[in-house]
Structure 1
Amino acid sequence: MVSAKTIVVNPQGMHMRPAQLFVNTMAKYKSDVTIIFGDKTINAKSIMHLMAACIKQGSEIEIQCSGEQEAEALKAAVELVESGLGE
């Protein structure tokens, strides 16, 4: 398992479009992807779980990846969050 902490920079946080982009990107990897946000553990390949977490701009999250492509998945996830999730 690999993990990294990052800050959500998207002004609207993890709302519908950014969450969908994140889920679609993570679906390409043969890894389990989890986001730790506060006391919540979120399946980062589930749009419903991401949206229900109410992750806002400025929130610190920890992304954990485990499986075949864990390093590649983590790198892509962190880059996506730090780039503003497509917005």
Structure 2
Amino acid sequence: MDINYFKTADLALVAVLLLFIPDSLEVVDRGNPHKVLFCFGKSPDLDSLVKRYWSRELTVEPQAFFNQLKQVKVRIYAED
């Protein structure tokens, strides 16, 4: 099952992924009390986006990014 997920705890990366591929988040894993993992379904689009993120090839609108980052934090503290 873990093979089908891309997992990250990097909030900036999560915000970018949700801006570009909004329906890609599948699980918010709170199993570790010190770190929340965001699990995305693997796909070629996601892999390409992650690669472009780490190579600093992406451009995002600052307010959209900041608002998405706030939404990511809401998901961390939300009760499921």
Question: The TM-score by the shorter chain falls in which range?
Answer: 0.3 to 0.5
Q: Which has the higher helix share?
A: 2
Q: Bigger relative contact order, structure 1 or 2, given CA contacts below 8 A and separation 6+?
A: 1
Larger Rg: 2
Q: Which has the higher strand share?
A: 1
